[in-house]
Structure 1
Amino acid sequence: MQGVARNFFGLAIIYALCGMALGLHMSITHDHGQMPVHAHTMVAGWLMSAVFAFFYHLFPAVAAQRLATVHFWLSAVSGIGLLVGLYFLLGGNAAVEPLVAISSIGFYASMLLFVFVAMPVFRRA
């Protein structure tokens, strides 16, 4: 695995470790107030990043495109901003709501960019 595929898979591993650590923390403390953050970390972070990694691994010509690198950075920055912001928002800090909103839009934009990058592969098949 190389390039963007490797970057996405490394990010997926980090998301998985963070999501699982948060899940363990909630279980140990019996405080499940951060369940939405845990779910977003595991699905939007771990699962989506792993899927992106395997897509780019399977289609190295697509991974070599500049848009694939843009996709990685948009996904990484907005995803981390979303999860950190959501953690503090659910912890009672309403001031981070704009960060959550902007990061959510950025993360959605990264998915739209992935659709734009991936659709030609499906059209050829």
Structure 2
Amino acid sequence: MKGAARPFFILAVCYAVAGMVLGIAMAAMHDHTQMPTHAHIMVAGFLMSSVFAFFYHLFPEIGSRPMARIHFYVQAISGVVLVASLFVLLQGTEQIEPVTALASIGFLAGMLLFIWNARPVLRAA
């Protein structure tokens, strides 16, 4: 794997492990309060990062562009802040909600960057 595919795949694996650990911890404690965080880690984190990794792997000319690297950093930073702040929010610290909201907007911006990067493929279809 080259270009943006590699860091996205590494990020996906990290999300998968984190989501599984959280899921096992919730089951062991019989406390599923963090189910929304678990879902965000697995779907927004693992699944989306995997899709981005495989897209950039299938289209290495796009994955090697600077915009693909920018996409990675925007998606990675906002995603990690999103799930961490969501975890804290669900623990009852409502003051962190603006951070969660900003991270969500950042995550959306990352998706929009991906769409921008994928335009050549979308146009060719």
Structures share fold, TM-score greater than 0.5: yes
| Partner of residue 59, structure 2 | 59
1:100 and 2:107 are equivalent in the alignment? no
Number of equivalenced pairs = 125
Q: Which sections of structure 1, spanning at least 5 residues, go unmatched?
A: none
| Partner of residue 89, structure 1 | 89
Segments of 4+ in structure 1 off by > 6 A?
none
**In the aligned structure 1, how far is the partner of 2:3 from the partner of 2:112?**
21
| Partner of residue 74, structure 2 | 74
**In the aligned structure 2, how far is the partner of 1:72 from the partner of 1:18?**
19
Matched-pair identity in %: 55
**In the aligned structure 2, how far is the partner of 1:32 from the partner of 1:92?**
14
**In the aligned structure 1, how far is the partner of 2:123 from the partner of 2:54?**
19
**In the aligned structure 2, how far is the partner of 1:95 from the partner of 1:2?**
40
**In the aligned structure 2, how far is the partner of 1:95 from the partner of 1:107?**
20
The CA RMSD measured in Å over matched residues stands at 0.7
Deviation at 1:3, TM superposition (A): 2.4
Alignment-mate amino acid for residue 47 of structure 1: L
| Partner of residue 19, structure 1 | 19
Deviation at 1:90, TM superposition (A): 0.3
SS of residue matched to 1:115: helix
Check the 8 A contact 2:2/2:63 in 1, yes or no: no
| Partner of residue 115, structure 2 | 115
**In the aligned structure 1, how far is the partner of 2:2 from the partner of 2:62?**
12
Deviation at 1:95, TM superposition (A): 1.5
| Partner of residue 9, structure 1 | 9
Q: Which sections of structure 2, spanning at least 5 residues, go unmatched?
A: none
Q: TM-score, normalised by structure 2?
A: 0.98
**In the aligned structure 1, how far is the partner of 2:33 from the partner of 2:10?**
28
